[in-house]
Chains A and B, each alone.
Chain A
Amino acid sequence: MSRIELRVNGRNVEVEADGRTLLTHALRDHLRLTGTHIGCDTSQCGSCTVHVDGKAVKSCTILAVQAAGCDILTIEGLASGRELHPMQAAFNDFHGLQCGFCTPGMIMMAIDIVNRHGRPDEATVRAELEGNLCRCTGYHNIIKAVCAGAERMGEMA
């Protein structure tokens, strides 16, 4: 068991976990932040995507101990109070989700895409989402939502 200090959604937290505990399990099981989902065991679905020190990371690909001291942002930390992050609002406006299971990972990835590309075109969004699987939407409206969310994030910046 190790004691791991993290900063999650702006709060300092401590997790007592096995060395082998993945960040995703630390978030879900230890901190009960269950918005971060697990959709695979080969690090390919992207459902578990969070931000670690401002960059999108599949939280099933790193150990919790590797994230020690890092600043972690999960889907639960995006909205301020009742006010949605513009990317969250765009997913609602453009029907970018159906079952909603892939959605937290999609939104965290989408914000990372905008952080890196500004206002990406459709082709860029499609290429950048290659590591996030959605079985429901056919991606069509996710792409629209990400492009619209990028617009709105740009307007707010």
Chain B
Amino acid sequence: MNETVANGKFGQSVKRVEDARLITGRGRFVDDLVFPGQTYAAFVRSPYAHATIAGIDLASAQDMPGVIRILTGRELADAGLPPLPSGWNLSSIDGTPARVGLHHALAVDAIRFVGEPVALVIAETRDQARDAADTVLVEYQELPTVVDLAAAIADDAPQLHDGIAQNRAFEWEIGSSAAVEAAFAGATRRVTLSLRNNRLIPNAIEPRAINVQWSAFDEAMTIYLTHQNPIGMRGFFAIMLGLPSENNLRVVSPDVGGGFGSKAPAYAEEFAVAFAAKMLDRPVKWTAERSESFLTDAHGRDHLTTAELAMDDNGRFLGLRVHTLANLGAYISTSNALVVSYMYATMLSGQYAIPAIHARVEGVYTNTCPVDAYRGAGRPEAAYLIERLANLAAREIGVDQAEIRRRNFIREFPYQTPLIYCYDSGDYEGCLDAALGLADYAGFEARKAESQARGKLRGIGLSAYVEACGIGPSKLLASLGGGGAMWESCEIRVQPGGSIEVLTGAHNHGQGHQTVYAQIVSERFGVPMDSINVVQGDTDRIQAGTGTYGSRASVGLSAAVHSCDKIVAKGRAIVAHMLEVNLADVVFADGIYSSAASNRTVAFVEMAQAAHGAASFPTDQIEPGLVATSFFDPPNFTYPAGVHVCEVEIDPETGVVEVVAFNAADDFGNVANPLIVEGQVHGGVTQGIAQALWENAIYDPDNAQLMTASYMDYGMPRADSLPEFGLCFWPSPTPVNPLGMKGCGEAGAIGAPPAVINAVCDALGVDHVDMPASPEKIWQLCRAREVS
């Protein structure tokens, strides 16, 4: 690890300033808040995955102690709560818009996944709400369920939504099928692969929570919400609640205990609670229990894919054809139409120059929890596919897995892929060599022999991923079906006393924004970090913003840089008057304004005082005060990339796969704070290893019950199941933002799964193993291996 410092510049490992409150128990999370007159909400949830609601009997529940009100879906709909909004418009190949199944905050007539909320109980205490919820009697008429993707599109499959035959929401494509046909016709070698990208449950350790205050007097609402995008959520809530304007609504996200995508959607429960608070005119709080999180936090991944890769005799990739069934769950969650299309299929070129690519994605409804962005969001699914194919290609051609990649790497930038994206910069082979060095790739055979002597199977696996981050270029995103508006804003206010407020619409949920924003501003102004206060997550303080997801910190930080530049420039004009010199002669460095034409200097803080004093410059030419706002809309995505190398040891007696070494060389462009960035990689890699080996959301195929609905059944990564990681950075700074940063939050979760599975396949000498590589699956393969 780099040496840590308490105060420092861009690029240094500055210790986090937000830690002080979090390590002393003074963090402020939504469930910590209690308001005068507080009431508590509990949901009645369907025990069935597919049913119609024949009746709801509230009589005995209503008489329970402390019960204030019980609301049903019908009541909310009649009172004017509309169905959930969709966040992305996707069109099918034939030009028709995606078929959207209506999603009510509380089920009105039908249930489509287990745990779907049916009624909302508001009571004086949490326990009273819970007790009463348990007493509500709902009469269900069970319907047949469907979980499996292939089964869901069969003619006789149970149909979830009226008018949506075979549960097909959309059939979307990208790339040129004609070019791919031609490439395959001219190819001499090909590999094919069918795989499942397993469904995951995000499991931020802080559960979802909301606490809503309504003020009938001024028709204004304050929503405390644990969310990745509080500023952006204000618009959703204003529409859903029918408030006359966004100004009547304040959304505040205080400390947020992890998100990984699962705290980015607009959720049913949160709308129901907010609507209820308005109906009741009392504050209503709801905090999910972990069981509710398992059942209803938007899940991740869940693809069924077949792909073919065409090559020449030397293993040069010529064409790629992909077909994916994407499990949407019971409804299309806020961003999922985007995740399964443009965030997934656009990345299928990977790090390779593949002249022809075509992908077709079908979005399918099933009786499962809605799926949405989860760490990486589409990009892990793409990297997993292309990196598995690369290893199959190496086997087919008979070359080493590093060599097949070298033969196909993109080497010149910018590189226009056949799938919209134009990669800005990179050094894929340099990264590969760095990773191989870190992993002592050359020494692998000796380690393998040593393992063999102990009766263990050892394997090594590479993955070379690239992803799209720094979301994003608004115009491009709007042209693909989004609402645009993917910039970020940053306002900097320099107070008369010299203390500084940095206000941004990005929202920290573990990324250390308070530190990194302060680092950048402190360096630009030459002032100590402790004079800087970073403000996030409150629509009353922050005018505009679009939140934190998709490794987009570079966007907000670039806005901060521009605001700093504006303030420094204004300072030069002020100082020119103070020193009575020409503006062109004023320079600013290390916090000091000076001029060759004067022997006086002015510190940044003195300039700030003068800006507010407004006595030392003509106010008809220069406005008093010292505030600057910038909006940064990046011209392109950034394309972080890297090579991950995983080494596993398999015990053929038990089928247990142990990750014995994991090394990664990553190109995140310039790194603002290596300490924080390494931490992001550790977390991402851990989630990636866990997807490959342990995590798997399993629904019972017969009745669509979630069988992995607690920490007893779902394979969370734990401290004792992981090795120490070896990391290095191999930066190619991006030209698309002023800091040269690319983003790092999702890299680990993207690079790790294929590296692990490639290592497992290498150890066993097999073509493919579906994730997770559970002991049972591996034990069976070891048996088969012995027999053969």
Chain A residues in contact with chain B, CB under 8 A?
Answer: 18, 20, 28-29, 32-42, 44-45, 47, 74-76, 78-79, 84, 88, 91-95, 97-104, 107, 122, 125-127, 129-130, 132-144
Contact = CB atoms under 8 A, between A and B. Distances in A.
A74 B23 CA distance: 11
A74 B658 CA distance: 36
B711 A42 contact: yes
B289 A98 contact: no
A71 B203 CA distance: 32
A44 B716 CA distance: 11
B767 to A, nearest CB: 30
Interface string B50-63: 00000000000000
Contacts of A88: 23-24
Interface in B10-25: 15-16, 18-25
A9 B678 CA distance: 35
Nearest to B292: A41
Nearest to A25: B126
Contact of B716 (A99, A133, A140, A142): A133
Interface string B243-274: 00000000000011110100000000000000
B557 to A, nearest CB: 18
Interface string B429-450: 0000000000000000000000
A100 B22 contact: yes
B679 interface: yes
10 contacts: A34-B29, A45-B711, A75-B24, A92-B16, A94-B1, A95-B676, A101-B27, A129-B719, A139-B717, A140-B679
Nearest to A146: B719
Given A34-B25, A104-B25, A41 B289 contact: yes
A38 B32 CA distance: 10
Given A39-B205, A45-B205, A136-B683, A103 B720 contact: no
Contact of A76 (B1, B25, B28, B711): B25
Given A92-B20, A138-B717, A143-B719, A99 B204 contact: yes
Interface stretch (B327-335, B408-416, B505-513): B505-513
A142 to B, nearest CB: 7
Nearest to B725: A140
Nearest to B24: A79
A18 B510 contact: no
Interface residues of B, number: 63
A93 B23 CA distance: 11
B23 A100 contact: yes
B510 A141 contact: no
B744 to A, nearest CB: 13
A55 B13 CA distance: 35
Nearest to B727: A140
Given A35-B26, A100-B23, A104-B25, 13 more contacts: A36-B25, A39-B205, A40-B711, A41-B291, A45-B290, A95-B676, A101-B258, A125-B719, A129-B720, A136-B258, A138-B682, A138-B722, A138-B725
Contact of B25 (A18, A20, A74, A94): A74
B724 interface: yes
Contact of A35 (B4, B27, B31): B27
Interface in B435-481: none
A139 B4 contact: no
Interface in B225-258: 255-258
Given A41-B290, A99-B509, A76 B24 contact: yes
A140 B633 CA distance: 35
Nearest to B202: A135
B510 A98 contact: yes
B600 interface: no
B712 interface: yes
B719 A139 contact: yes
B32 to A, nearest CB: 4
Contacts of A78: 24
Nearest to B680: A98
B23 A92 contact: yes
B711 A97 contact: no
A141 B205 contact: no
Contacts of B213: none
B623 interface: no
B205 A91 contact: no
B257 A132 contact: no
Nearest to B289: A41
A95 B675 contact: yes
Interface in B678-692: 678-680, 682-687
B127 interface: yes
Contacts of A84: 23-24
B207 interface: yes
Contacts of B718: 129-130, 133, 139
Nearest to B748: A138
B290 A140 contact: no
Given A39-B206, A41-B290, A136 B510 contact: yes
B683 A135 contact: yes
A130 B719 CA distance: 6
Given A35-B25, A41-B290, A133-B716, A95 B205 contact: no
B4 A75 contact: no
Interface in B681-721: 682-687, 710-712, 716-720
B682 A137 contact: yes
Contacts of A92: 15-16, 19-20, 23
B682 A126 contact: no
Nearest to A39: B205
Contact of B720 (A20, A99, A102, A126): A126
A135 B289 contact: no
A130 B207 CA distance: 20
A20 B127 CA distance: 10
A133 B714 CA distance: 12
B711 A100 contact: no
B4 A135 contact: no
B683 A133 contact: no
Contacts of B686: 137-140
Contacts of A32: 34
B711 A47 contact: no
Contacts of B683: 98, 135-138
A93 B256 CA distance: 21
Nearest to B724: A140
B205 A138 contact: no
A93 B629 CA distance: 33
A8 B717 CA distance: 33
B719 A35 contact: no
A103 B23 CA distance: 6
A99 B15 contact: no
Interface core residue of A38, A95, A132 (most chain B CB under 10 Å): A95
A54 B492 CA distance: 47
List the 4 shortest-distance A-B pairs measured between CB atoms, nearest first: A35-B25, A101-B257, A100-B22, A138-B686
A16 to B, nearest CB: 13
B644 to A, nearest CB: 13
Interface core residue of B28, B34, B255, B510 (most chain A CB under 10 Å): B510
Contacts of A20: 127
Contact of A98 (B20, B34, B511): B511
A35 B720 contact: no
Nearest to A140: B682
Nearest to A47: B205
